[in-house]
Amino acid sequence: MALWMEPGSDPTTERERADLDAISAIKDSSTLELKEKGNEYVKMGKKHYSDAIDCYTRAINQKALNDHENSLIYSNRAHVNLLLGNYRRALEDAEEAIKLSSTNVKAFYRAAKASLSLNLLTEATSFCRKGLELSPSNEELKKLAVQVDSRKSEIENREAQVSKAMTTARNLASALEKRDLKLGKTMYQELTGVKKPVLDKNSILHWPVLLLYAEVMSSDFIEDFCETDMFSTHLDMMFSDSDPSLPWDKEGAYTWKSIELYYESGSGIILSKREVLRYLLEGTAGSLVKSIGDDDEKESDLYSNHSLTSGKGSGKWIKVNEKKTLHDILQQPNFIIPGIPVFYVVSNCSPFYKEFKAGKWALP
């Protein structure tokens, strides 16, 4: 029996043809054996997964089987690849399996699963849908479809949150810009946390405002100071006669009549537009967004001429007229808002007053 032939010689006799068929039958059966072997390996557990892959690969390379059988082998290899976490390969195998046999439900399932792991959600959905068309009652596919959907809505939710945070921040930034307000680096973050101004539905700004008693460096906080409010409105409430005086104020020097409010002029460097946006995004869903619109960059130099006017912490104390609104004061050209507005409270009845007025006091 001639197991090999001279090149070019065709099987001619009846006998030779029969022999060839026999060889090919052996090849088939050995391919199927390889497939079985592969399946065995899979059952044997993790350590043997790579052997299984090897068997499947060899079986495929023999190119001896029909499309349907090949589809099963590809789909099996996809399964092992999934188990190994080779999602990209698993997806390729499953897709190949589908190409070879468009009724291979398992292949659809595996393709969907791999897609989900690769975060290709549109593809995952489409594989699930096609799989379910073939086998509408397939519980596993249904479960997977639900999983894909919930992942989708999770992502959409997060994106919506980020975009909402971005919109809020952008609106705020443009409100600041329209008002010609200048934002500087945050001071006293330990006292204020991540508090930010809020725009109400009428586009009016509400600021959190920090009052610092310079003499003792203790603080008071006004949660909601509407920009159209006068200072006196808030001081009225804080220093009403019925309220007990401040616990540290043993002399009773800090009363409505005796207090004066100051802000520090031109202290700090004005933030660029981009920095303002980043500051406004702090502590929101948008805080991790990396690219804050490249289009903003070119405008950042718009601010550079502003910063010329800002000396470095050479702060001069400017007295606040408490009959003015917050907006009136913030709008002063020399007011650089340190994250949120900060005002310094001193009492003209306290011995400290003289020192403060003489400019001898500086921020600790």
Partner 1 sequence: MATEAEELIGFLSSPSPQIKKMAVDIVRGLTGSEDGLLSLTRHSDIVLPSLSALLGEKKEISEPAAEALVNLSQNPELSEKMVRVGMVKTAMEFLYNQDSGIRRLLVMLLLNLTQSDAGIASLLQLEDEKVQGLYISKLVRSFCRSSSEAKEYPFEHVGSILVNISKMEAGRKILLDPKRGLLKQILPQFDSTSLLRKKGVSGTIRNCCFEAENQLQNLLLISEFLWPALLLPVAGKKAYRKEDTSKMPLELGNVLSHEREPVDDPDIRVQALEAIYLIALQEAGRRALWSVNGPRIMQVGYEDEEDPKVMEAYEQIGSLLVHEGGAEEPSEQMSK
Q: Is the dihedral of CA 278, 284, 286, 290 positive or negative?
A: positive
Supply 110's token pair: 């595996």
- Minimum distance between the CB of residue 120 and partner 1, rounded to whole angstroms? 39
CA–CA gap between residue 30 and residue 100 (Å, rounded): 21
Near partner 1 by CB under 8 A: residue from 35, 37, 206, 273: 206
Interface map 178-197 toward partner 1 (x if CB under 8 A): xx------------------
- Contact call for residue 328 and partner 1 (CB under 8 A): yes
**Backbone dihedral region of 266: left (phi > 0), alpha (psi from -120 to 50 degrees) or beta?**
left
- Contact call for residue 299 and partner 1 (CB under 8 A): no
Is the distance from CB of 107 to CB of 90 less than 8 angstroms? no
Contacts of 230 (CB under 8 A, 6+ apart): 322, 323, 324, 325, 326
Is the distance from CB of 334 to CB of 200 less than 8 angstroms? no
- Minimum distance between the CB of residue 192 and partner 1, rounded to whole angstroms? 17
- Minimum distance between the CB of residue 345 and partner 1, rounded to whole angstroms? 20
314-331: burial string, b at 16+ Cβ within 10 Å, e else? ebebeebebeebbbebbe
Near partner 1 by CB under 8 A: residue from 9, 12, 137, 202: 202
Return the DSSP state at 317: E
CA–CA gap between residue 34 and residue 48 (Å, rounded): 14
Measured from the CB atom, the residue of 30 and 228 that comes closer to partner 1 is 228
CA–CA gap between residue 263 and residue 335 (Å, rounded): 8
Q: DSSP 3-state assignment of 10?
A: coil
Interface map 212-251 toward partner 1 (x if CB under 8 A): ------------x-xxxxx-xx--x---------------
Measured from the CB atom, the residue of 226 and 269 that comes closer to partner 1 is 226
- Minimum distance between the CB of residue 207 and partner 1, rounded to whole angstroms? 12
Measured from the CB atom, the residue of 77 and 206 that comes closer to partner 1 is 206
Q: Is the dihedral of CA 114, 117, 120, 124 positive or negative?
A: positive
Near partner 1 by CB under 8 A: residue from 198, 235, 238, 318: 198
Measured from the CB atom, the residue of 202 and 291 that comes closer to partner 1 is 202
- Minimum distance between the CB of residue 263 and partner 1, rounded to whole angstroms? 18
- Contact call for residue 255 and partner 1 (CB under 8 A): no
Measured from the CB atom, the residue of 230 and 269 that comes closer to partner 1 is 230
- Contact call for residue 164 and partner 1 (CB under 8 A): no
- Span from 75-83, 110-118, 185-193, 203-211 in contact with partner 1 (CB under 8 A): 203-211
- Contact call for residue 324 and partner 1 (CB under 8 A): yes
HSE-up (13 A, CA, CB side) for residue 328 = 11
- Minimum distance between the CB of residue 200 and partner 1, rounded to whole angstroms? 5
- Contact call for residue 201 and partner 1 (CB under 8 A): yes
The shares of helix, strand and coil residues in the chain, as percent rounded to the nearest 5, are 55, 15, 35
- Span from 9-17, 77-85, 174-182, 334-342 in contact with partner 1 (CB under 8 A): 174-182
Q: Are strands 342-347 and 336-338 parallel, antiparallel or unpaired?
A: unpaired
- Span from 63-71, 138-146, 283-291, 320-328 in contact with partner 1 (CB under 8 A): 320-328
- Minimum distance between the CB of residue 236 and partner 1, rounded to whole angstroms? 8
Is the distance from CB of 332 to CB of 318 less than 8 angstroms? yes
Q: Are strands 218-226 and 259-265 parallel, antiparallel or unpaired?
A: unpaired
- Contact call for residue 203 and partner 1 (CB under 8 A): yes
Q: Which residues form the interface with partner 1 (CB under 8 A)?
A: 175, 178-179, 198, 200-206, 224, 226-230, 232-233, 236, 321, 323-325, 327-328
